[in-house]
Amino acid sequence: MRKTSQLLAGATALFLSTSALANDHDPAALQAKALQDDIAWDITEGLTTEIGPRQAGTEAEARARAWAVAKLNRLGFSNVRNEPYMMPTWVRGQETAVVTSPFPQKLAVTALGNSASTGDKGLTAEVAYFPTLQDLIAAPDGSLAGKIAFVSHAMKPTQDGSSYGAFGSARFVGPNIAAKKGAAAIVIRSAGTDYHRNPHTGNTNFDEGVTPIPAGALSIPDAENLERMIERGQPVQLKLVLTPKNIGQQESGNVIAELPGSDPSLGMIVIACHLDSWDLGTGAIDDASGCGIITAAAKHIMTAGQPKRTIRLLWAGAEEVGIWGGKAYGEARKGDHHALAMESDFGAGRIWRVEFNLPEAATPLADEIAQALQPLGIGRGQQKAGGGADVQAIIKNNNLAIIDLQQDGSRYFDLHHTPDDTLDKVDPEELRQNVAAWTTVLSIVGNDDSDLSMPAPE
Q: How many structural domains does the chain have?
A: 2
Looking at the fold, whether 272 and 395 belong to one and the same domain comes out as yes
Q: Is residue 458 part of a domain?
A: no
| CATH code for the domain of 168 | 3.50.30.30
CA distances from 335 to 86, 330, 331, 450 (A): 21, 9, 9, 21
Looking at the fold, whether 157 and 297 belong to one and the same domain comes out as no
CA 221 to chain centre: 26
Looking at the fold, whether 253 and 240 belong to one and the same domain comes out as no
| CATH code for the domain of 433 | 3.40.630.10
Is the confidence at residue 14, as pLDDT, over 60?
A: no
- pLDDT for position 433: 98
Choose one of 181, 211, 245: the last residue of a domain: 245
- pLDDT for position 365: 98
- pLDDT for position 457: 82
Looking at the fold, whether 263 and 368 belong to one and the same domain comes out as yes
Q: Is residue 147 part of a domain?
A: yes
Q: Is residue 4 part of a domain?
A: no
- pLDDT for position 16: 34
> Are the C-beta atoms of 53 and 280 separated by less than 8 Å?
yes
Looking at the fold, whether 297 and 319 belong to one and the same domain comes out as yes
Is the confidence at residue 3, as pLDDT, over 50?
A: no
DSSP three-state, residue 143: coil
Q: Distance between CA atoms of 350 and 386, rounded to whole angstroms?
A: 19
Q: What are phi and psi of 98, to 5 degrees?
A: -135, 125
How confident is residue 23, by pLDDT bands cut at 50, 70 and 90? low
Is the confidence at residue 421, as pLDDT, over 70?
A: yes
Q: Distance between CA atoms of 251 and 61, rounded to whole angstroms?
A: 9
Work out the number of other CB atoms within 10 angstroms of the CB of residue 89: 21
Per-residue pLDDT tens digits for 124-152: 999 999 999 999 999 999 999 999 999 99
Choose one of 245, 276, 297: the last residue of a domain: 245
Across the strands, what pairs with 97?
107, 240
Looking at the fold, whether 106 and 64 belong to one and the same domain comes out as no
- pLDDT for position 399: 96
Over residues 432-440, mean pLDDT: 98
- pLDDT for position 18: 35
Size of the chain in residues: 458
CA distances from 365 to 310, 378, 448 (A): 18, 16, 8
Looking at the fold, whether 115 and 142 belong to one and the same domain comes out as yes
Q: Distance between CA atoms of 217 and 21, rounded to whole angstroms?
A: 55
- pLDDT for position 70: 98
> Are the C-beta atoms of 242 and 94 separated by less than 8 Å?
yes
Choose one of 206, 224, 245: the last residue of a domain: 245
> Are the C-beta atoms of 258 and 313 separated by less than 8 Å?
yes
Is the confidence at residue 418, as pLDDT, over 90?
A: yes
The 3-class secondary structure across 393-426, one letter per residue, is HHHHHHCCEEEEEEECCCCHHHHCCCCCCCHHHC
Per-residue pLDDT tens digits for 45-95: 999 999 999 999 999 999 999 999 999 999 999 999 999 999 999 999 999
CA distances from 404 to 67, 158, 369, 434 (A): 27, 17, 12, 12
Per-residue pLDDT tens digits for 296-324: 999 999 999 999 999 999 999 999 999 99
**Residue 409 identity:** G
Is the confidence at residue 1, as pLDDT, over 80?
A: no
Element (H, E) at 80: strand 78-91
Q: Is residue 152 part of a domain?
A: yes
Looking at the fold, whether 138 and 187 belong to one and the same domain comes out as yes
Looking at the fold, whether 117 and 162 belong to one and the same domain comes out as yes
Looking at the fold, whether 138 and 235 belong to one and the same domain comes out as yes
Looking at the fold, whether 189 and 332 belong to one and the same domain comes out as no
Across the strands, what pairs with 239?
98, 124
Is the confidence at residue 17, as pLDDT, over 80?
A: no
Question: Domain range for residue 236?
Answer: 95-245
- pLDDT for position 24: 81
279 half-sphere exposure, CB direction, 13 A CA radius: 18
Q: Is residue 3 part of a domain?
A: no
Judging by DSSP bridges, how do beta strands 109-111 and 215-218 pair with one another? antiparallel
- pLDDT for position 21: 39
Q: Residue 175: which residues within 8 A CB-CB, separation 6 or more? A: 112, 115, 186, 188, 204, 206, 212, 213, 215
Q: Is residue 8 part of a domain?
A: no
Q: Is residue 13 part of a domain?
A: no
Q: What are phi and psi of 369, to 5 degrees?
A: -65, -50
* 107-129: b (≥16 Cβ within 10 Å) or e: bbbbbbbbbbbbeeebbbbebbb
> Are the C-beta atoms of 277 and 54 separated by less than 8 Å?
yes
Q: Is residue 272 part of a domain?
A: yes
Per-residue pLDDT tens digits for 335-355: 999 999 999 999 999 999 999
Out of 4-13, 57-66, 212-221, 261-270, least confident range:
4-13
Per-residue pLDDT tens digits for 369-413: 999 999 999 999 999 999 999 999 999 999 999 999 999 999 999
* 278-298: b (≥16 Cβ within 10 Å) or e: bbbbbbbbbbbbbbbbbbbbb
Looking at the fold, whether 71 and 32 belong to one and the same domain comes out as yes
